[in-house]
Chains A and B, each alone.
Chain A
Amino acid sequence: MRGRPLPWRLFPWRSARRLPGLLLLAGAAVLASFLASRALPGDPVMLMVDGRAADPEMVRRLRESAGLDQPLAAQFLSYVLALLRGDLGHSLRYGGVPVTELLGEALPVTLGLLAGAAALALPFGLALGLAAADARRAWPGTALTVGSVLALSMPPLALATWLMLAGSGTTPWAVAALALPAAALIARLTRTQVMDVLGRDFIRTAQAKGLGRAAVLLRHALPNALVPLTAAVGSVAGTILTTTAAVETVFALPGIGRLTVQAVLARDHPVAGAAVLVFVLAQVAVSLTAELLIGLADPRLRDGETPP
């Protein structure tokens, strides 16, 4: 097929081969979230009655109304059915607020934080990585290595604390605490990938036909480096959640990380279980997006060919 590809030809159908695995993952996430929400130790009913020397009859009735006297398999079935209706249960704290409501309040905070961090980390990381891939001088690469090892060695809690003390605890500093390690990682990966591409033959061809440095870097090296870069960033996305929880805790931001940590500490199992589900689904979304982007960026992958 010549000329501009038709829209459906742009879609990387190859990504579909990951669907069974992702469905399996979603199933495992539902099971894990059920286990976490019904977890031992800590009887949820005793937590509801606040550990008071409760009337055994009241405890029995509460247990019955929550379905906790049913066998575990039946509980799982009703959990899945409720999940399909969009019902994640009720928090054991906060006077029985629906879990979906708590998540709905917390998610925008976290998404805003992550969006801000990505808006900072992506351009800065890419630019620094490209600048450090310059082989004419050694110092940019050295500076990047030193800086990125330093930034990636900072425990997120320590970095967040220092930035909070430095900046009076306002939200932009929380974004910075999240963006700094991410930018260091992106810059480092960009540099490695771009330097790898710069050694290939087509770069020499591009230089030989008289293209300037900027054109070679931006039009030939960067797009080819983006595919492995996207794959690498997608595969480490899981650890950013822990960092987010640390930043939200230090800056006292009411996001999903802080909500989750507090729920675990307070044995608020329904909220903790729902968070497990949300986190795994977010990870699924990220890896699907990465897969689609890789397919779009590399035409060879669209028709099921394998790249060299």
Chain B
Amino acid sequence: MTAVRSLAGRAGLLLAAALAVPLALAAFLHPLDPAAMDLGRAWTGPPADHPLGCDGLGRDVAARLIAGMGTSFAIAGLALGLAVGLGFALGGAAGWIGGRTDAAVLRLADLLHGFPELSLAIVASALLGPGTEAVVLTLALAAWPSQVRWCRALALSNRTAEHVVAATALGAGPMHAVRHHLLPAVAGPVAIRAALSIGPVMVAEATLSGLGLGIQEPAVSLGTLIRDGLADLRSAPHLIAATTVTVAAVALSINLLAEGLRDGLDPRGTPFRWPRLFRRS
């Protein structure tokens, strides 16, 4: 549990629990369909039997937030999975083989890095139509260059490591070296790097979908909820309030956990310190 060794990590875990426990309880005790409409209770504020009130179509805001959070997590996970998988395959090959392969992969990563996220989103939604596929592709392509550079650097330093050279000298083939030496050495750092980018990727999804370039109705994500809230800003401010606070809290808890992970893993870095008031010894 490296992530919770520092106080930032503990704060993040606490916040994540503070979010997850009531949500899980609500989903369990109060199972509501996020799409169920009841125009009779449209615009009702929080103190009804719906903990966060209802939107303009009488749909329960809490149920929609729970559903939206699930979608946003799934999309961030899918996009990062794609970016890490492709990044590992190409970056690992580039670092391990070197030469022209390396130059070509680096050039490709530079090329893609030159496209700002928003232009990737425009091209993706122009080619695929705005929707889930477009936003997953955008986020994966935006995350890919840094993943590929990281995998390449790891593979490069592992290829010349003494134990790998020794294994090769003893007659190990390239597949053996990749399976038994490269993969185990690289898996941890790659996973950590991916975990650090979950927060920013979720924020990016919320922004793109919030602008209308991502998830489309009737699917629900944190981004589409922001979009709904913005549309009903004047008539029902409780919508945008509930949604933006939730999105910010989710991102904050993930980023704090990431900060804890960074502190715990980097002995050189300056650890997060609480003011003396809260420190125990």
Contact = CB atoms under 8 A, between A and B. Distances in A.
B208 A242 contact: yes
A55 B273 CA distance: 72
Interface in B183-240: 199, 203-204, 206-208, 210-213, 222, 226, 229-230, 233, 237, 240
Contacts of B203: 153, 155-156
Interface stretch (A27-35, A114-122, A210-218, A292-300): A27-35
Contact of A284 (B114, B208, B213, B240): B114
Contact of B117 (A22, A36, A239): A239
Contacts of B208: 242
Interface of B: 8, 107, 110-111, 113-119, 121-123, 125-127, 129-130, 199, 203-204, 206-208, 210-213, 222, 226, 229-230, 233, 237, 240, 243-245, 247-248, 251-252, 255-256, 259, 270, 272-276
A151 to B, nearest CB: 10
A45 interface: no
25 contacts: A21-B110, A21-B111, A29-B114, A32-B123, A138-B273, A138-B275, A138-B276, A142-B274, A149-B8, A149-B259, A155-B206, A155-B251, A158-B226, A161-B229, A161-B233, A235-B113, A241-B116, A241-B119, A261-B212, A265-B130, A275-B119, A279-B115, A280-B115, A280-B116, A283-B116
Nearest to B254: A153
A272 B126 contact: yes
B256 A149 contact: yes
Q: Give me the 7 closest cross-chain CB pairs, A-B, nearest first.
A: A158-B244, A39-B126, A238-B116, A153-B252, A36-B126, A25-B114, A153-B251
B28 to A, nearest CB: 27
B118 to A, nearest CB: 4
Contacts, number: 164
Instruction: Summarize B's interface: helix, strand, loop or mixed.
Output: helix
A24 B107 contact: yes
Nearest to A243: B207
B178 to A, nearest CB: 29
A145 B230 contact: no
B76 to A, nearest CB: 13
A260 B256 CA distance: 33
Interface of A: 21-22, 24-25, 28-29, 32, 35-37, 39-42, 138-139, 141-142, 145, 149-150, 152-158, 161-162, 165, 195, 235, 237-239, 241-243, 245-246, 249-250, 257, 260-261, 264-265, 269, 272-273, 275-276, 279-280, 282-284, 287
B194 to A, nearest CB: 18
A269 B126 contact: yes
B267 to A, nearest CB: 14
A207 B8 CA distance: 33
Nearest to A138: B273
B207 A242 contact: yes
Contacts of A39: 126-127
A157 B117 contact: no
B252 A35 contact: no
A32 B119 contact: yes
Contacts of A25: 110-111, 114
A119 to B, nearest CB: 22
A29 B115 contact: yes
A40 B207 contact: no
Contacts of B129: 41-42
A142 B118 CA distance: 33
A156 B226 CA distance: 11
Contacts of B118: 241-242, 245, 257, 260, 279
